[in-house]
Chain A
Amino acid sequence: DAKTTQPTSMDCAEGRAANLPCNHSTISGNEYVYWYRQIHSQGPQYIIHGLKNNETNEMASLIITEDRKSSTLILPHATLRDTAVYYCIVRSRQGGSEKLVFGKGTKLTVNP
């Protein structure tokens, strides 16, 4: 499985863009990058995913480097409700087993 590396924690001011980095230097050509977040005590929530092109949806943007060894999740205007743990996951698919394996993620704190 391709592993991911994320900072343990980050802070962001309310209203500013939050840029969360993720390294996945061993990613293979057919593996996608997924981002989920977990707000305290709730189940994880899907945010966005991508293969090699940049992606944008109503929640966030995902920027993937050309060599695909790293990516950045961007929350354009962070609010207090965006305080959560953010997980960057590279999708593993082995022998028909389709897993999402969660690492420790980045604890994002949005400050007023």
Chain B
Amino acid sequence: DAGVIQSPRHEVTEMGQEVTLRCKPISGHNSLFWYRQTMMRGLELLIYFNNNVPIDDSGMPEDRFSAKMPNASFSTLKIQPSEPRDSAVYFCASSPRGRGYGYTFGSGTRLTVV
């Protein structure tokens, strides 16, 4: 089992550019989560999906952020346009639905917006 796979591992972009982060969850996991981590705010839940359907996006900071899950094996988090304050580590996690103990996190994408 390769675990949750995120790409890219590192992304440096200029302010105003579009950024797309990618996630491949563990096969068979029904739930997928996107988190953001900064020193100031810690780990924040941005959005989560059950069976490819967005359930709770209350953590998405602004309309500049959007997330999709076109199928059970792929999700994207897009920021357009990016701003320096979006610099953070973005984690994707998946779990079998209904199991809070089953979260498996990816290695994260470190985003730097200059």
Asked if A101 contacts B45 (CB within 8 A), the reply is: yes
Interface size class of B (residues with CB under 8 A): 20 to 34
Asked if B42 contacts A102 (CB within 8 A), the reply is: yes
The SS class assigned to the B binding surface is strand
How many residues on the A side are at the interface (Cβ–Cβ under 8 A)?
25
User: Is A42 among interface residues, defined by CB-CB distance under 8 A?
Assistant: yes
Given known contacts A34-B100, A49-B100, A97-B55, is B48 in contact with A103 (CB within 8 Å)? no
Asked if A100 contacts B91 (CB within 8 A), the reply is: no
Which of B60-68, B69-77, B79-87, B104-112 binds A? B104-112
Asked if B45 contacts A45 (CB within 8 A), the reply is: no
User: Contacts of B55 on A, CB cut-off 8 Å?
Assistant: 96-97
A44 to B35, CA, bound (A): 11
User: Contacts of A32 on B, CB cut-off 8 Å?
Assistant: 100-101
Q: Which residues of B contact A (CB under 8 A)?
A: 4, 31, 33, 35, 42-43, 45, 48, 50, 55-56, 89, 91, 93, 97-98, 100-108
Question: What are 8 sample pairs from A and B whose C-beta atoms fall under 8 A apart?
Answer: A41-B89, A43-B105, A44-B103, A46-B102, A98-B50, A98-B97, A100-B103, A102-B43
